[in-house]
């Protein structure tokens, strides 16, 4: 697989939340297949459940059942982090006026990368610092 889109219509998932308020078949443990990845950063996944049709579900409410996908995703993450280490010039924490997290950007030789959420930002910032790449803070107005 070369793209997350290659997993459409074949990635098996299980609900880890109870959504029976929307449809009686959407109980915790219901299994379905991802039919598309929607939005930036895959905010929602459209999942088809037998007897319930297709629903937009946050990935946090799903357990991925395909081990091959989990291995592919970890391999893609590893490749991304290796590329960041090869090309990074500096990392930049973007903070709000009161110090709240607004984002994290990595300035690279061939364009910029962004962290997807605070947890990933913390991981990348530590990785950069451990390899002697500067990380600075910038307060946004």
Taken in order of first residue, the domains within the chain and their CATH numbers are 4-65 (2.30.30.40), 77-139 (3.30.720)
- Residue 125 near residue 81, CB atoms below 8 Å: no
Q: For each of the chain's 141 residues, which pLDDT tens digit applies?
A: 677 778 888 899 999 999 999 999 999 999 999 998 875 455 788 999 999 999 999 988 999 999 999 999 899 889 999 999 999 999 999 999 999 999 999 999 888 888 888 899 999 999 999 999 999 999 988
DSSP three-state, residue 97: coil
Inter-residue contact 111 to 74 (CB < 8 Å): no
Cα–Cα distance, 73 to 40 (Å, whole number): 17
**115 and 108 in contact (C-beta within 8 Å)?**
no
Q: Give dist(CA 12, CA 112) in Å, integer.
A: 33
């Amino acid at each position: 697989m070369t793209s997350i889109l290659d997993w459409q219509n074949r990635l098996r998932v299980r609900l880890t939340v109870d959504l029976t308020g929307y449809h009686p078949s959407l109980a915790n443990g219901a299994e379905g297949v991802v039919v598309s990845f929607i939005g930036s950063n895959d905010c929602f996944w459209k999942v088809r459940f037998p007897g319930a049709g297709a629903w937009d579900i946050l990935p946090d409410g799903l357990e991925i059942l395909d081990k091959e996908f989990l291995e592919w995703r970890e391999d893609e993450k590893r490749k991304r982090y290796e590329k960041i280490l090869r090309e990074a010039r500096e990392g930049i924490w973007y903070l709000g006026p009161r110090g709240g997290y607004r984002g994290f950007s990595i300035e690279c030789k061939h364009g910029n990368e962004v962290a997807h959420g605070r947890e990933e930002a913390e991981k990348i910032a530590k990785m950069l610092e451990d390899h002697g790449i500067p990380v600075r803070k910038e307060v946004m107005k």
